[in-house]
Structure 1
């Protein structure tokens, strides 16, 4: 997502004002044949339009009609490895960006690449979830919503996230473990079953299924687009006002 800098906005404003004033000068000169009159009109118009535009904008600042109020929210995707969390979360993030919502995407893979020494024990994962919770809190203080996707297999860590952040929306991406194995093109499940990977959720470590989630999408039955549509519809209904 790109945002105009102040310098770019100023440059655009000046270029438009020069273009508009030049057009006015040319039109008056063509009709009246007097350069002095055309230049005078151009100068007067420039200052008048700047003053009127400023007054117009100041007035609209006080008008609340037509504004969208968007409270920062956190979409927390949880589910077994290869259940479809990242794919659906990416799709949802793209769709929410189109609504011009200030939003950031947080994925477990990206975070672990930044902090490679994170372990996979229960304590390690719970500490890691607290780090992510603090990151989301910081973003929310700046009115930025988040789309976060983590296996987050333990109830206590998901509870901690819910307590730490505002407007937490748990999305349980449900999938049968056999389905997840079929999607595993990197062979992670096979390595976990062979003992090469330890603490692998759903194989040699638990995945504690959420007892409550605002949204449940069953990827054995729903496509990525169908799942994303359900989630985006929920956000539009509850947070884009």
Structure 2
């Protein structure tokens, strides 16, 4: 079970990072006015976000949120995951954008813009992965 779920979480981390990096590059370019700044912020995030996302997935996989002895409905769980991930992701983006651009206001603007775009994209990503059985065994399919 552990090996299968880890494969799934690594695959989810990679697919989400592709979507997230494209969004970050475009937003950073639009806000900073500099395509090179957008690329620097986007590609720096690849490493930090993949590590952070993997651990976020592992924590949520181990959390057993129950209501009356039953696992919470998946949409509520995905909303909870969306909110916690966005908090982590936005803080990371803001700090990296500030560091790379040298301007704390640029970091704040990019972070605020991402609050909206990334929450929408992340929810869609979670729903797609919820329908996928990649990396799941019969035992842990029922846990999701």
| Pairwise same-fold verdict (TM > 0.5) | no
TM-score bin (small chain): 0.3 to 0.5
More helix by share: 2
With normalisation by structure 1, the TM-score equals: 0.24
With normalisation by structure 2, the TM-score equals: 0.36
More strand by share: 1
Looking at CA atoms only, which structure, 1 or 2, has the larger radius of gyration?
A: 1
